[in-house]
Structure 1
Amino acid sequence: MPRAAVLGSPIEHSLSPLLHNAGYAALGLGDWSYTRFEVTDETLPKFLEQAPEDFRGFSVTMPGKFAALALGDVATDRARLIGSANTLVRTPQGWLADNTDADGVLGALGELLGDASIEHATIIGAGGTARPTLWGLARYGAKAVTVLNRSDRLQELEPLAAILGVELRGMSFDDDSAELARLSRSSDVVVSTVPSRALEGHLPELSHAPVFDVIYDPWPTPLTIFAAADGYRTVGGQVMLAHQAFSQFELFTGQAAPREAMFAALNAELALRGGTK
């Protein structure tokens, strides 16, 4: 019986099992199953060593994404470039490390922006999600990206930005509200990768552009509510979550992901949780 699973810590909240199992059901893959395991970056090497042969692949969430890349026997170009992996696929050559978060970002930007190209974007936050976000924005044509963050972590993103040909700029929440508003208005898109509470007190200034907020539960987020009130389109992290799962599903099973069925299952679960309105 072929199996797959999501690995991370904490992991009980993960919606990946729901997405993948909905896909198996839609395609009649009754022999496939998908579950979850509590695994940290420190325990990941031993877990992979002992993983039974019927596990075809693993989705990897924090804190194991950097370790997953290091443990891959081979890696895709984008995983190496981004510097982390959220996907491990069993191959004859060993574990293939990939980063389908990149597809998640592209899927969310596609829903938000359509075919429009962008020049300048803002990323709020400089954590792990900022890296695939920067990659996706570059694919959308961004020439300049401003990173708005409470601490100076710009140097961590500079090597990736240089390879992508993106001019990287930094701003702080300590800048006055007029500067933050100018930043928002000058951006073709604002991508928030931080918890909603981190934006408290700054929402009116940051909502003057289309917004992609990686948070999806609860939904809508305060930032997207402000942006929508200002007349801008918004998209949430549920779209990113679904699109990264579509790519993983195809890597694990070798079959096209039944996107509508998987998305419907995700939206139904979020509605039950009160995460969508």
Structure 2
Amino acid sequence: MAERSVVERDATEREAPEDVSAMTPARARALFRQGLRVPTAGWCAGWTQANIVAVPRDLAYDLLLFAQRNPKACPVLDVTDVGAVSTPLFGGDLRTDLPAYVVYRDGEVVDEVTDVRSVWRPDLVTFLLGCSFTFEDALLTAGVPVRHIELGRNVPMFRTSLDCRPAGALHGPLVVSMRPVPASLVATAVRVTSRYPAVHGAPVHVGDPAAIGIRDLDAPDYGDPVPVEPGEVPVFWACGVTPQAAVRASRPPFAIGHAPGHMAITDARDSTYLVP
């Protein structure tokens, strides 16, 4: 069964009051700080989005090593100083300026909130990791449809049967995001996204989901299902929810992550991460 977050199911979730694609990061963060809870696919076109995971200092080296060993899933864009709540990449407050957060204790989800100030610890180190939402505008520009944006849904994400390379206390499965792509445009999707290696880059798998341990595309582990129409191929990219899957598998005493699909919108431009 899909692990849809409380914030996605909350009947009180509000809609953004304006065109989200044209919004600036500062404006988006202000809305999230005020309590707007919504997946961020399609927001702030041209501005880079990021996954976050915050862990105590004594686990930070293991997480950094885990990211270094699994760069497709965990491309590091920035790391805060101990206890810091902003970075040059993210000028807002990492405790309040995302639309939703997940709080973990001993690997279990204990809360899903829009503000983590009440549980924030001065020994936390926050990692900002590349997000595949960053290359979606480039896919659309190249004529590749992005189904979850078309339908106003969160991207579907799946835990796979592929294990990440462990590091210290951390181990766990690779998580992937899925986008249906017309068969004639798969090569275009691969070409476009391969130019964004800092935000997951090219797909890790194309085609049969069972080959990577996914039983049912209609039952994502995170996010929302989207239809794969006749003539389309499911295409899978490594996903920045992977460190949170490692938290669940490794069961550290405490961690905070973004709610899947509810990202940190940074002050960096997507073009910063485009390679020739």
| TM-score, scaled relative to structure 2 | 0.28
Q: Comparing both structures, which one devotes a greater share of its residues to strand?
A: 2
Higher-RCO chain (CA-CA 8 Å, sequence separation at least 6):
2
Higher helix share: 1
TM-score normalised by length of structure 1: 0.28
Name the larger-Rg structure. Answer: 1
